[in-house]
Amino acid sequence: MFYRESGQFKTGYAADQAVFPILQDRWGVLLMLIIGFVGVPLVIDDYWANAVFIPFLAYSLAALGLNILTGYCGQLSLGTGGFLAVGAYSSYKLMTGFPELDMILVLLGAGAITALVGLLFGLPSLRIKGFYLAVATLAAQFFLIWLFYKVPWFYNYNATGQITVPPREALGFLVTTQKADIVVRYLFILSIVTVFAIAAKNMVRGRIGRSWMAIRDMDIAAELIGIRPFATKLSAFAVSSFFIGVAGALIFSVWLGAAESGETFGIIESFLVLFMIIIGGLGSVLGSFLGAAFIVLMPIGVKNVLVDWFGFTAVFAKHVEITTFGVLIIFFLIVEPHGLARLWQIIKEKMRLWPFPH
Amino acid sequence: MNVMTKPTITEDHRTIGDVQMEVKNITLRFGGVTAIHNTSFNIRHGEIRAIIGPNGAGKTSMLNVINGFYHPQEGTITFKGEERRDMRPHIAATQGIARTFQNVALFKGMTTLDNIMTGRSLKMKKNIFWQILYEGPAKMEEIENRKFVETIIDFLEIQHIRRMPVGKLPYGLQKRVELGRALAMEPELLLLDEPMAGMNVEEKEDMSRFIIDINEEFGTTIALIEHDMGVVMDLSDRVVVLDHGELIADGTPDEVQKNQDVIDAYLGVAHD
């Protein structure tokens, strides 16, 4: 009823190509941003920040990265955990090697290093597709984790084999370690993720995004239009890895504060991020956020309901959680391959016409 | 007396120029199978050139050679005065060769608009950093190209499906969108692989009209493969006939129709 676009006329292609061409959407997004930047910091505490908001934002960024590669460019990757680890370890090396470096530059540096590693592991995509490529990226996952475990240089030869974040500032605000104010940490990660989300949206709606999707949908036809398949796939690998690298650096430095390659960035992480984009919506920026929210929030919800309300054991709740993931993934793959983002779009279409069916 | 003489409804204002594309002594083998054997013909500027022949004659293989998907073992391809051993898809695209496919090869997950916009890829030069910023040069470029794409959408009368994912469109419209995507490249030579396959009479008439308009208004050279002989004989200026990978006739529609080899190939005469 309130979601009507009648009377909103577009008088130019610029207006027609806007990210949110409908006025209500613009207000909605503005409202979300105000809640995110002003509302949440007023009420946030350590538990909510560390258990919900910060992991949600960090995983959203990782999901966004994987969605660029898998959802937009059609290259299935199971190496996300490995690339998150590259981001985390390279940010650690940058932080300890250059203590004066601003956190923003550390994140960009970690992203750039991960992009290079992603390029390297994207090379097989010239020859192999689909499941075969997935297996090649799986090799990246295991190789990278092994590398960070075996080569002590990566964790500065410390006895534990772990990496622990040193206190570092971004634009004069302390953003890492437990000493940093939780609101500052939250706002820092929120700002980074917002900027990256805008960047992703701009890329996918322009020439680069269209060439990724063209490669995904019909690589032969794309080649005839003048899109170079190999360069386009590699650009998707690089951009995707950049996003994932920054996400890995954030998970390590702002969220967890410490990490160990196999424990923190194992194969489970690769699958979790893949689940996020399948449930959220392949080939959708919004879907990356919805999927991350779902995967981060569901275990907390299940635990609260089953353990705290009904008195089941924590192990039982964990099993229910894993089973639910499985069922939902089957459900989405069969019923709605475009995920939660598509469901949201259907709701919006229905609202435009409500109360009429057509 | 020929019943199938082209009826002259309007005068022909086109100027058919020099040779634009020449394939010379092309031989293409896949292992032991010879798909095309020592075939030569040319395509002149501004004409509609048909390639016909029975199934398996090597017509699509020929287009794939021109496009650069297949690399012939022997022969040369000359396009716009440049002689090559073989073509590469990317060179073909930058040199102005566009193509549609026998089985529609659209980007199914994208809208009609995005599909045709993708055809503008080579015309869009702004690098990834401008694209990330979007506001400014990348946006200007996007709008300029959008304007061009809208003229194509108008021309093909597909305004109503602009925002629809092409996977959901009926077949005839998909063919039209694919034609639009090829036109977005502003091609000099347009290759159409069975543009009317699987269409009803009305859709065929529409498509024929589009092909004639593209040829006459934009001056685009067209090479098409088609099985509907009525369409081929009406549309084309010259016809190449292939059979079993060999060129058996080359000439105007009238000449080709009278050619005994062509009649044999189509009606089926035992090959020795």
> A217 CB near a chain B CB, below 8 Å?
yes
B134–A202 CB contact, under 8 Å: yes
Q: Where is B26: in which H helix or E strand?
A: strand B19-30
Residues of A in contact with B109 (CB under 8 A): 213, 216-217, 283
A283 touches chain B (CB under 8 A): yes
State whether B118 and A222 contact (CB < 8 Å): yes
Distances (CA, A) of B254 to A58, A84, B8, B216, B234: 70, 68, 15, 21, 10
Interchain CB contact of A225 with B (< 8 Å) = yes
**Whole-angstrom Cα distance, residue B141 to residue B124?**
7
Note whether A11 contacts B: Cβ–Cβ < 8 A: no
Q: Which among B197, B107, B155 has a CA at the least distance from the CA of A72?
A: B107
User: What pLDDT is attached to residue B1?
Assistant: 42
DSSP-H helix ranges across chain A: 13-16, 23-34, 40-43, 46-48, 54-66, 80-97, 103-122, 130-150, 182-204, 207-217, 219-225, 229-250, 261-264, 267-280, 285-303, 314-335, 339-353
Q: What is the pLDDT of residues A325-338, one digit of tens each?
A: 889 888 888 888 78
% residues pLDDT > 90 (chain B): 71
Measuring CA to CA, which residue among A188, A184, A70 is closest to residue A129?
A70
Tell me if A135 sits within 8 A of A69, measured CB to CB: no
| Chain A: residue whose CA lies nearest to B95 | A226
A159 touches chain B (CB under 8 A): no
Degrees (nearest 5) of the Cα angle B19, B116, B127? 95
* Of A145, A148, A150, nearest in space to A265 by CA: A145
Q: How far apart are CA A307 and CA A303, in angstroms?
A: 5
The answer to whether B108 contacts A217, with C-beta atoms less than 8 Å apart, is yes
For A155-166, what is each residue's pLDDT tens digit? 999 888 899 999
Interface check A203 vs B, CB under 8 A: yes
> Percentage of chain A with pLDDT > 70?
99
Q: Please name the member of B107, B109, B131 whose beta carbon is closest to the beta carbon of A206.
A: B131
Express each pLDDT in B155-192 by its tens digit: 999 999 999 999 999 999 999 999 999 999 999 999 99
Structure tokens, B30: 């896949």
CA angle A158-A159-A160, nearest 5°?
100
Distance of CA A187 to the CA centre of its chain: 17
Strands (E), B110-207: 189-193
Fold (topology level) of B1-96+187-272:
Rossmann fold (3.40.50)
| Contact criterion met (CB < 8 Å) for B109 and A218 | no
pLDDT score for B270: 64
CA angle, corner A67, sides to A62 and A72, nearest 5? Answer: 155
Cβ(B30)–Cβ(B3) below 8 Å: no
Q: What's the confidence (pLDDT) of residue B12?
A: 73
> For chain B, what is the largest distance between any 2 Cα atoms, rounded to a whole number of angstroms?
68
Rounded Cα distance between A329 and A14, Å, is: 38
Q: Pick B39 or A308 by higher pLDDT.
A: B39
User: Of B126, B173, B133, whose CA–CA distance to B153 is shortest?
Assistant: B173
Residue with tokens 């701009």: A202
- Identify the closest residue of chain A to B118 by CA–CA distance: A210
Tens digit of each residue's pLDDT (9 = 90 or more) over A117-168: 999 999 998 888 888 999 999 999 999 999 999 999 999 998 888 999 999 9
pLDDT digits (tens, 9 = 90+) for B225-234: 999 999 999 9
CB contact under 8 Å between B94 and A226, yes or no, is yes
Task: Give the 3-state secondary structure of residue B269.
Answer: coil
Q: In this predicted model, what pLDDT tens digit does every residue of B74-125 receive, in sequence order?
A: 999 999 888 999 899 999 999 999 999 988 999 999 999 999 999 999 999 8
ipTM of the complex: 0.89
Query: Cβ(A248)–Cβ(A241) under 8 Å?
Result: no
Mean pLDDT of chain B: 90
Q: Does A204 touch chain B (CB under 8 A)?
A: no
Mean pLDDT computed over A216-226? 92
Q: Cβ contacts (< 8 Å) between A205 and chain B: which residues?
A: 134
Please tell me if residue B260 touches chain A, with a CB cutoff of 8 Å. no
The Cα-based distances of A130 to A137, A240, B37 in angstroms read 11, 17, 36
CB of A68 within 8 Å of a chain B CB? The answer is no
Flag if B128 and A228 touch (Cβ within 8 Å).
no
Mutate: best of A11, A13, A225, partner B, most B CBs <10 A: A225
Each domain of chain B, given as residue ranges in start order, spans: 1-96+187-272, 107-184
Q: From the list B101, B109, B143, which residue is nearest A216 (CB)? A: B109
A77 pLDDT higher than 90: yes
Spell out the residues 6+ positions from residue A81 whose beta carbon is closer than 8 angstroms to its own: A141, A145, A265, A266, A267, A268, A269, A270, A273
